[in-house]
Amino acid sequence: MTIQFNDETFRDDYSFKNSQRAIDRFPFPFHEDSYMYSVNMEQHQGGPSDSIYEKRFDVDEHYVAEMRDRAMVLADDPLRCQSLPHMTLAGWDLLELIMVSKSEDYPALFELHRDGDNWHWINKPLGIDDHFVFMDETTLPYGPMEYITRQTQGDFCVLDQRDENLWMDAGMITTQADWSLDFDIGMNFFEWHAPVPLAHEKGIFIRALKFLLSIQQGAPARRLNWTMTVNPLLDTSPENYHKWGIQKTSVTPKNLGSKQHLRVELQTFFRLPRSNALVFPIRCYLISFQDIVSKVKWGRRLHRVIRDLPEELATYKGFIDNRPMMLEFLSKYDDGLETSFGVWPEEGTEPPLQK
């Protein structure tokens, strides 16, 4: 299908919106009426037609606007994109992976022509048409990782693998949920996850690391994670928290449905062929509460998940203060009826709201 790219903003006037298609394919993250951390990994080998899982790197209606927002973040703070010197090869691996995937998955939007090391890359939505020499940094306007991730939705962590651990040694991080690449760069898997509550004690990170270390080329994996964001703000960085934090207090019972957003991360994991690094894209999808409750099952379920979430998690995810107001809104969409198992909205079979 052809994608109509939205002309929209993720700051100031927040003109971001989801079309009906975007709502229908939103990655609702709760497969049951409660939530706790788990190593919820599965293979990333496609998915239902037109779902966000179908392609290796999903391109949607927000693509052009998200790339515009990324360019603004980088102009304000170039430290959001960093790569330690030994990670350049992994950057080329990543560039190749994305160019090959996008040109195969979206031939109408992206083209890659290769003649030996002489490559020709065409990105139609962003109006880019570049010739360069693969593995020759001087032929690109940025380093390879920065070049390609300025053209790809989602944050990117490029992880070096050594000493039976993963090291956050490069990244493009402009839409992060409260963590700083500039602070965490160079850390190992346990160190950069240090501030996450409960999960260490549950052994989550030990199991997750074991899984990730064994990911093979051509067999990527994925999982979902989620948090909450007031306004469709992509740049919820700690760097700018002193500027955006105040927005959390702008929610009222009247505007909550449009201001409060569920923020879902599609995290995928790909082994890179030359460097043996692991790339970990974190793709952010935003949806307002009023759009979520347009799916009866999602409205019922979100109310129960938020209501029953342990306090530590609501605090860590940054919405403990607004939780009562969120519940007041969501309770109107929960009639206590049973929900079917799984994340899909099941609009044909789920009973209509009884209140």
Return the active site residues: 223
Q: Which one of 32, 76, 191, 328 is in contact with other proteins (CB under 8 A)? A: 191
Q: Contact between 190 and other proteins (CB under 8 A)? A: yes
Q: Judge residue 203's burial from the number of C-beta atoms within 10 Å of its C-beta, 0-12 exposed, 13-18 middle, 19 or more buried.
A: exposed
- Return the range that interacts with other proteins (CB under 8 A); candidates 128-136, 153-161, 238-246, 262-270: 238-246
For position 86 contacting other proteins by CB under 8 A, the verdict is: no
CB of 186 to other proteins, least distance (A): 4
Q: Tell me how far, at minimum, the Cβ of 315 lies from other proteins, in Å.
A: 13
| Contact call for residue 192 and other proteins (CB under 8 A) | yes
User: Which of 344, 349, 351, 350 shows the shortest CA–CA distance to 48?
Assistant: 344
Residue with the two structure tokens 């899982």 = 53
Nearer to other proteins, 140 or 230 (CB): 230
CB 38 within 8 A of CB 204: yes
How many other β-carbons are positioned within 10 Å of the β-carbon of residue 114? 14
Q: Closest separation between CB of residue 53 and other proteins, Å?
A: 32
User: What sign does the CA torsion over 130, 136, 140, 142 have?
Assistant: positive
Stretch that binds other proteins, among 33-41, 129-137, 142-150, 181-189 (CB under 8 A): 181-189
> Which of 21, 101, 97 shows the shortest CA–CA distance to 62?
21
Return the HEC string of 283-321.
EEEEEEHHHHCCCHHHHHHHHHHHHHCCHHHHHHCCCCC
Q: What is the CA radius of gyration of the chain?
A: 20
Residue 184 found at the interface with other proteins (CB under 8 A): yes
Q: Pick the closer one to other proteins by CB: 53 or 205.
A: 205
Minimum gap (Å) between residue 257 Cβ and other proteins: 21
Closer Cβ to other proteins, 32 or 321, answer by number: 321
CB of 195 to other proteins, least distance (A): 5
Spatial distance between the Cα atoms of 117 and 325, rounded to a whole number of angstroms:
57
- Give whichever of 37 and 244 is closer to other proteins, judged by the CB atom: 244
Nearer residue to other proteins within complex by CB, 22 or 181? 181
Stretch binding other proteins (CB under 8 A), from 68-76, 95-103, 236-244, 299-307: 236-244
**Nearest CA-CA partner of 316 in 207, 232, 227:** 227
Half-sphere exposure of residue 195: CA atoms within 13 angstroms, side-chain side: 11
Q: How many residues bind other proteins (CB under 8 A)?
A: 27
Residue 240 binds to other proteins (criterion: CB under 8 A)? yes
Q: Which residues lie near other proteins (CB under 8 A)?
A: 79, 180, 182-187, 190-195, 200, 238-246, 248-249, 321
